[in-house]
Structure 1
Amino acid sequence: MHMIIDALEQSWRAWADLGGSLDESGWQRPTRLPGWTVKDVYAHCSGFPAATRAGLAAEEPDGPVTHADAAELLAFMQRPGGIAHEAADQLRDEAVRQATATPAEQLVAQFAEVAPGLIASLRNANLDRRVDYGGFAVVTAAEALRIFTMEAVVHYFDMATALDLAVPGPMAGAPLRATVRLLADTADPVAFVDAATGRGTPSVFPVLR
């Protein structure tokens, strides 16, 4: 359990450091995500620390776990016509709105000030407890943290490439390993094996939208 906490801590510390280093031109740099600036991407992820804290403070959902692990939940979200596809434009518009309305220092504070205290509390938390995920799923806290770590790595790369920073940079090590493992687990296993070993060209990627 502590491995995913270590990975998340490293990831969020990198976000705090990056946000603290940016000037206005850096925040407004366009990313490889069409219609998203660096600040839009940062704003999109800035709610994760507070949301994680709220999820752990809430009562456990009444219902059982709906998805056995993070990979199963991601695959559910990514299915044709699923949540990831239907909500994509809405997520972008909300990120742009939040980035426009929120001073950069407030966004950075989520990772520089909120996240460290949350990480400390996670080390004493029961990560096997059930948590609500977005109002449409129930998973264990540990599996939710796996998704948050993956989000932190993937979107850090979006910002880093826009800012001409090295990748994996501060995401090397535990965060990158956790992300690769989760994405591999999310892919169709037979197609992944065949593609990875050069035994055909099955349509296995992209795993996520």
Structure 2
Amino acid sequence: MNDDAASLIGRDWASFLDLLDGAGWETPTRLQGWTVEDLARHVHWGMTLEADALELLAARSAGEAVGPAGEAVRTARGDPLEAPREQIVAALRGARGRLLRALAAAPSDPAALVPMPYGDLPLAFAVQIFVMEAAVHRSDLAHAVGADDRLGPGTHAPAAAVLQAFWPVLAADATAVPPTGTGFLLRGTSVVVEAEYDGVAWAAPTGPHAVVISGEDDEVLLAGYGRVPVEAARVRIDGDVALARRLKEYVPGP
């Protein structure tokens, strides 16, 4: 298991809990329609989903939790948090502890397949998703309570890798498609995310980018994840500004 990734995940979820202390449950977040309470309940589900997947992986690796034909007996689902408000923080602390124990017990093979609800993923990539989730949701809460919402040190590369990998998946829920041949390049100080629409799907760029969005890693990634509108982010836009402003119409979520 990647100890550095586990450290990042543990750090950012601990910071989330610290930020939650004293936060108003009804405080709105930058996630449309979500309050701090909604975010906290979602985070509990997410952490328990990740722990569930890792525990199932460990069981599979030990020859357990599979049927006679080798199929999984169950899938990772996560635990919806339906407890009253006064129990949310304790439930989150418990979920964080469970996730960290599951990370510590995970197999060392980075190619081991983690059974996520949307398909099996190599452990090395699944852990990058877990790092991204902790970093971005900690940022969401920090923004809501007026704290520093920059992504934590060490999380920019995983966040960029996840956005790159899931770009076509996110685009499947788009409300609009750009002109054929439109290429986007999100260029931070240390990360790059890029894709081109070929008229059917998003793929690796084959020509010049129609839109280049550049700046500090945090600004570029928070815009890419839809946390900050492109036009409001402290970024430079080269190319078609109108297309740049529609980025999250073409690649919505997550």
Classify the TM-score, shorter chain.
0.5 to 0.7
Distance in 1, Cα, partners of 2:137 & 2:103: 23
Query: Alpha carbons of 1:162 and 1:56: their partners in 2 closer, same or farther (altered >3 Å)?
Result: closer
Deviation at 1:124, TM superposition (A): 4.1
Q: 1:200 — aligned with what?
A: 239
- Contact persistence 2:55–2:106 (CA under 8 A): no
Contact 1:47/1:110 (8 A) holds in 2: no
Deviation (angstroms), 1:146: 1.8
Three-state SS of the structure 2 residue aligned to 1:123 is: helix
CA distance in 2, matches of 1:22, 1:37: 14
Shift of 1:130: 1.5
CA distance in 2, matches of 1:142, 1:208: 25
Structure 1 counterpart of 2:162, from 182, 204, 209? 182
Normalising by structure 2, we get a TM-score of 0.54
TM-score normalised over the length of structure 1: 0.64
Name which of structure 1's ranges 103-112 and 144-153 shifts more when overlaid on structure 2.
103-112
Separation (CA, whole Å) in 2 of partners of 1:128 and 1:109: 34
Aligned to 1:67: none
In 1: Cα distance, 2:10 partner to 2:93 partner: 11
Return the offset for 1:166: 1.8
String of CA shifts for 1:123-161, please: whole Å, max 9, x gaps: 342153212212x31112332232232222222222222
Aligned to 1:128: 111
1:155 pairs, out of 137, 159, 168, with 137
Identity of aligned residues (%): 24
1:82-110 deviation per Cα after TM superposition (whole angstroms, max 9, x unaligned):
xxxxxxxxxxxxx8xx5xx4233433234
- Residue 22, structure 1, aligned to residue 3, structure 2: no
Look up the match of 1:172: 152
Alignment map for 1:32-181 (pairs within 5 Å): 32-58=30-56, 59-60=59-60, 98=81, 101-126=82-107, 127-134=110-117, 136-168=118-150, 171-181=151-161
Find the aligned partners of 2:161 and 2:106 in 1 and give their Cα distance. Answer: 24
Q: What secondary structure sits across from 1:131 in the alignment? A: strand
Sort the Cα spacing of 1:114 and 1:162 in 2 relative to 1 into closer, same or farther, 3 A: closer
Structure 1 vs Structure 2 CA RMSD: 3.2
More strand by share: 2
145-154 or 116-125: which moved more? 116-125
Q: 1:178 to 1:5 in 2, by over 3 A?
A: same
Q: Secondary structure at the match of 1:138?
A: strand
Give the Å deviation of 1:181.
4.1
Q: Secondary structure at the match of 2:115?
A: strand
Amino acid in structure 1 at the alignment position of 2:184: A
What are the ranges of 5 or more consecutive residues in structure 1 without an aligned counterpart?
64-94
